[in-house]
Chain A
Amino acid sequence: MADRRLLVVLRQDGPIPLDVRLECQAGDTLVIFGPSGSGKTTVLRAIAGLYAPASAEIRAGGETWTDTARGVFVPPHRRHVGYVFQEYALFPHLTALGNVEAALTDQPRGERRARALACLAQVHLDGKAGRRPHELSGGERQRVALARALARQPAVLLLDEPFSAVDRAVRRRLQDEVADVRATLGVPTILVTHDLDDVVRLASHVLLLDRGRAIALDTIATLMRRPDLPGLVDAAGPGTVFDAVVHRTHADRGVVELAFDGGMLVAAGRAPEGATVRARIPARDVILATSLPDGLSVQNVLAGAIRSVTLPEGQDAATVDVAVGGLTIAAEVTRDAVQSLALAPGRPVYALVKAVSVEVTGAAGGRAPRS
């Protein structure tokens, strides 16, 4: 089987400085996260062939798309990319169906319509195939754009701030649509966003970009625990992100039991049994105890051992990583607590987590992150 991963190496000093190296496996979702003007969109444009950096190497779907060292540059229309633009970029003179059919010109003429309708059906828009973009709502336009990207049967899926123009409720639904499309395609997905919600819900890996320079690239589970990274944790504070399977649902109590790599957790929320969900525990909601407490309302008492203690210079809060089975849970405690409890690597501790502190956010992003 051909190598379906995406490999991108970009370097240039100006006019837009770039220093990025990333790899994304088929089925994974790499989120490029960073402030505006950090070059996120430029990376996507380079992958699509819409921008040619001074020095670049881009491989996808077993083909070389750009290799400046060897003078290779495949024009955009010969690259199999599914690109969802920030402002939809639909063709205003064509219907929803026409927009999707435009991405199928390499298919036999007779098969285009059926295939385009199937793509629209996948984003639940087959009832509006005959509408023109101006007759559709923002969310519907975005779904047409998604169907158009899907129709191309791309070797990579590129999403540029796909939810920035819609409200929160529509955003949640679109995130689920993206998760579906991504699962159908099974190709590397690159998502550009500056919204933490997108990261938590969709990412398997995160690339932090600052002024065109990649400052961190890791699994979301690892990056969300690191308090030293700008941008990503600023939005919500450090925390633990992991995928878990819903073991049991207690609808009467409004809680679910989650099986994770290291035991069981009770979380407030609803999700179907057997579903894989993504969960996040904010580090500041984790309490550490050196002995087993009793008489507490806390539902989750997780026995583990300290892996590391990070105490950034000049800060009063320390981040303590606790290994619970295969999962590393981050806890934020005071400098005082580190000293009074003598928290140090190797020490056995209990991590206490209230059920309401476990945020269950629905579909897991790509393959389970390796933590």
Chain B
Amino acid sequence: MDWQAFRVSVSLGLWTVALLVPVGMWAGHALAARTFRGKALVEAAVAVPLLLPPTVLGFYLLTLVSPRSPLGALFERVAGTALAFSFPGLVLASVIINLPFVIQPIQRAFEGIPADVRDAAACCGLSPWQRFRRIEVPLAWPGILTAAILTFAHTLGEFGVVLMVGGNLPGDTRTLSIAIYDRMQAFDDRSAGIMAAVLLATAVTTLALTTLLSQRLVRRRG
């Protein structure tokens, strides 16, 4: 069992969730509440990571974080280290590929709030920010929680993109799913089996947790 890889996987998942949930709440709310020109295009762009093969995504993300790209160059100047094949680069890639897993459920959750309830909140004198914080987020909470948990689970399982963008640097960018592949290549079936079981258990637990939490929320709110 490669605990170092486990730690990388978990911290990658937590970082991704921490960075993505606020973004998802903002974008999901904007997509649910507003109509604007080009909204369909934005929605399609958000969904693209669902359809592209991980190698294609990995290729573009690697181009984005390479020292020759403006972003990669800027990061290197500020942080002093390269973005490509580093943990921050991996987090960035993970954030981008998980966009649809966060934005879509949150958007659906905000869309599920009746228009009258939003209007009533405005007529109660609540400002747009107060409406968001006190009415819309609490009502969309099951969707937001689902999005966070799914993202976490999905990040743990991501393989292709992580391999392409992160490489396979122990303690830095080697995640559990990559370590499993590594062990398999080395005919270490026992280690691979243990790690696979850990990932399987994590996936089942998160999904069970999601179902349980959303049921409880639904029951409490009626």
Check if A and B associate: yes
User: Residues of A at under 8 Å CB distance from B?
Assistant: 45, 48-50, 75-83, 85-87, 89-93, 102-103, 105-106, 132-135, 148-149, 152
Can you name the residue of chain A whose Cβ is closest to the Cβ of B124? A103
Among residues of B, the one whose C-beta sits closest to the C-beta of A81 is B123
Which residues of B are found within 8 Å of A87, using beta-carbon distances?
Answer: 114, 116
Chain B: residues with Cβ within 8 Å of the partner, total of 21
Q: How far is the CA of A304 from the CA of B166 in the complex (A)?
A: 98
Given contacts A76-B119, A132-B221, contact A92 B124 (CB under 8 A): no
Query: Which A residues are in CB contact (< 8 Å) with B119?
Result: 45, 48, 50, 76, 83, 85, 89
Q: Are A85 and B124 in contact (CB under 8 A)?
A: no
Chain B contacts of A148 at CB under 8 A? 120, 124
A217 to B135 Cα, complex, angstroms: 38
Residue of A nearest to B217 (CB): A93
Residue B222 at the chain A interface, CB threshold 8 Å: yes
Q: How far is A50 from B120 in the complex, measured between Cα atoms in Å?
A: 10
Q: Dominant SS at the B interface?
A: helix
Q: Are B123 and A135 in contact (CB under 8 A)?
A: no
Establish whether residues A102 and B121, one from each chain, have CB atoms under 8 Å apart when the complex forms: yes
Contact of A83 (CB < 8 Å), options: B120, B126, B128, B134: B120
Say yes or no: A91 contacts B122, CB within 8 Å.
no
Q: What is the CA–CA distance of A148 and B222 in the complex, to the nearest angstrom?
A: 20
Complex CA gap A103/B131 in Å reads: 11
Q: Return chain A residues, CB-CB under 8 Å to B125.
A: 77-78, 80, 103, 105-106, 152
Complex Cα distance, B178 from A347, in Å, reads: 104
**Bound-complex Cα distance A140 to B209 (A):** 35
| A103-B124, A148-B124 as given contacts; A132 in contact with B222, CB under 8 Å | yes
Q: Which residue of A lies closest to B135 (CB)?
A: A91
Looking across the interface, which residue of chain B has its beta carbon closest to that of A158? B123
Q: Is B130 part of the binding interface, using a Cβ–Cβ cutoff of 8 Å?
A: yes
Contact between B126 and A102 (Cβ–Cβ < 8 Å)?
Answer: yes
Contact A92 B123 (CB under 8 A): no
Distance in angstroms between the alpha carbons of A221 and B139 in the assembled complex = 46
CA of A50 to CA of B130 in the docked complex: distance in angstroms? 17
Contact in complex: B222, A89 (CB < 8 Å) = no
Q: Can you sample 16 A-B contacts with CB below 8 Å?
A: A49-B122, A77-B124, A77-B128, A80-B125, A83-B123, A87-B114, A89-B117, A91-B135, A92-B117, A92-B221, A93-B138, A93-B139, A105-B126, A105-B130, A134-B221, A135-B222
Contacts of B138 in A (CB 8 A): 93
Known contacts A91-B121, A93-B138; decide if A134 and B126 are in contact (CB<8 Å): no
* Interchain CA distance A85-B130 in the complex, whole Å: 20
Would you call B127 an interface residue if the criterion is a C-beta within 8 Å of the partner chain's C-beta atoms? yes
Given A91-B135, A92-B139, A134-B222, A102 and B124 touching (CB < 8 A)? yes
Q: Which residues of A contact B116 (CB under 8 A)?
A: 85-87, 89
Of A45, A80, A102, A149, most B-chain CB atoms within 10 Å: A102
Rounded to whole Å, the gap between the CB of B217 and the closest CB of chain A is 9
**Interface hub of B124, B131, B139 (most chain A Cβ within 10 A):** B124
Question: Are A77 and B139 interface neighbours, CB within 8 A?
Answer: no
**Inside 8 A of A135's CB, which chain B residues have their CB?**
222
Would you give the shortest CB distance from A297 to chain B, in whole angstroms?
A: 52
Query: Which chain B residues border A50 with CB–CB below 8 Å?
Result: 119, 122-123
